[in-house]
Chain A
């Protein structure tokens, strides 16, 4: 479990990026974090595995204080990160060497590394590309290799910081399916994103503004207030917005429509 208590973070130039964040993330949860650029999402993400340490307040991972130097390795054994640009994360010339890079650095024995790499590539659906050069892969495939690298570290939590921002639509779809699959296998997933349809796939959505968590709830709860989301500079999934527009035109619809399938089912009965 991850627990964030009154977290404050100020950069060296004095800019306050986090201004009193409180949040708990349960084991096995799939949490999405949304908010405008500069709301503090990425700064928060970097606290989950101690890439940043709180200016004030605490972050605990399985009860371990992330600001204590002695806990650093155990925190990072528990929480892994995947970033926006796979090109910055891929280090090796062959896919499977890249996935093996992290476990090798941990000094794990070769047979165990082999098992981990095989399983990680299978998990992200990239086994067939094990001997490819990463430079020959599409953006979505590269990002799945970066995810396999995180999976091979066997962390129980993976934080994804805008993993699809640079991908084409099919790449986005592949990566989101991979993330859902990891969650289904029991991993705790924290997904930072600007794409509301991705946030709608989570169990819980936290909305950040000006360094704080403004509210958190199920996607249905969060996206039902279309006007509030727009005021915050955010958006809602297309089905939610279309339902809201139809309601204003006098079409009676349930208040919490979230997906195209739900909207289709209701409209069909009209």
Chain B
């Protein structure tokens, strides 16, 4: 379990640009959770996930991973973080070397490293034959997979992804989401930051909404989308399907506004028509 206890964070303390990015945030992520963090740009999401991953020093409060402080290396190594546009950080000559970078830093043996590279590539659906290719010759979707494979090769127990589908075309997006689901089924606890309410509706079991550095909502996505005030305050909109259902309701069709996915909307409208 990851426990975030009373975490506050202020940027540029003592200058005219002082900004409270996080204010007394407390929540926990249980093993097996599939949690989405949403909020508009500047709501504190990125600061929060970097604090959870132990990449920003705490100013106040505490973060514990399985009971151990995030300041301890064994705690930090349980958490993997995939940044926004992670493909921008690719730098090695070959795909395999890039994926091996993290495991090598962990001091693993060469046999173990090769094994992990192969497994990680397989997991994200990259043909193993691409291992000796330069990552810069790959397509956008493939590059992102290489970057994610580099984190998976570290075998994190908890995986944090910041806007994993931003900038991907619809097909690459669907494929990547399917892989994240597969990871979750394989036992990895997932925390993902997203602007896409569609992705949150289709994937997450739980959503945490941040606004002005505070938690505005923590619960099931379905309940979130029914609360227009919270969505408004957080700069969010319901997923396209829910917006469509709301439009049908405005037109006088009484359809259950809880539908978030196309399957649910289809069933609900057929029920209404019959």
Interface stretch (choices A35-43, A63-71, A119-127): A35-43
User: Would you give the 0/1 interface string for A138-170, flagging 1 where the beta carbon is closer than 8 Å to chain B?
Assistant: 111000000000000000000000100111111
For chains A and B in complex, what number of residue pairs have CB atoms within 8 angstroms?
117
Q: Are B237 and A233 in contact (CB under 8 A)?
A: no
**Contact residues, B229-274 vs A (CB, 8 A):** 235-237, 240-241, 243-244, 247-248, 250-253, 262, 265-266, 269-270, 273
Q: Are A263 and B167 in contact (CB under 8 A)?
A: no
Q: Across the interface, which residues of A come within 8 angstroms of B140, CB to CB?
A: 37-38
Q: Across the interface, which residues of B come within 8 angstroms of A111, CB to CB?
A: none
Q: Are A138 and B236 in contact (CB under 8 A)?
A: no
Of the residues B171, B266, B273, contact of A242 by C-beta under 8 Å: B266
**Contact residues, A242-270 vs B (CB, 8 A):** 242, 245-246, 249, 251, 260-261, 263-265, 267-268, 270
Q: Decide yes or no: A171 and B169 within 8 Å by CB, A238-B241, A242-B241, A267-B248 being known contacts.
A: no
Q: Are A36 and B171 in contact (CB under 8 A)?
A: yes
CB distance from B238 to the nearest CB of A (A): 9
**Contact residues, A72-106 vs B (CB, 8 A):** 84
Q: Across the interface, which residues of A come within 8 angstroms of B169, CB to CB?
A: 35-37, 194, 233-234
Q: How large is the interface on B (under 10, 10 to 19, 20 to 34, 35 or more residues)?
A: 35 or more
Q: Are B247 and A166 in contact (CB under 8 A)?
A: no
Q: Across the interface, which residues of B come within 8 angstroms of A167, CB to CB?
A: 41, 195
Q: Does B226 contact A (CB under 8 A)?
A: no
Q: Are B248 and A263 in contact (CB under 8 A)?
A: yes
CB distance from A199 to the nearest CB of B (A): 11
A170 CA / B195 CA spacing, docked (Å): 10
A234 CA / B40 CA spacing, docked (Å): 26
Q: Across the interface, which residues of B come within 8 angstroms of A246, CB to CB?
A: 266, 269-270
Nearest A-chain residue to B272, judged by Cβ: A267
CB distance from B131 to the nearest CB of A (A): 19
Q: Across the interface, which residues of A come within 8 angstroms of B235, CB to CB?
A: 138, 168-171
Nearest A-chain residue to B143, judged by Cβ: A37
Nearest A-chain residue to B195, judged by Cβ: A168
Q: Does A118 contact B (CB under 8 A)?
A: no
Q: Are A170 and B237 in contact (CB under 8 A)?
A: yes
CB distance from A48 to the nearest CB of B (A): 20
A–B complex contacts, Cβ < 8 Å, 27 sampled: A37-B139, A37-B169, A37-B172, A38-B139, A138-B235, A139-B40, A139-B42, A140-B41, A166-B84, A166-B167, A168-B39, A168-B195, A168-B236, A169-B197, A194-B169, A194-B170, A233-B171, A245-B262, A246-B269, A251-B270, A263-B247, A263-B248, A264-B248, A265-B251, A267-B248, A267-B273, A270-B273
Q: 3 closest Cβ contacts across the A-B interface? A: A233-B171, A264-B251, A139-B41
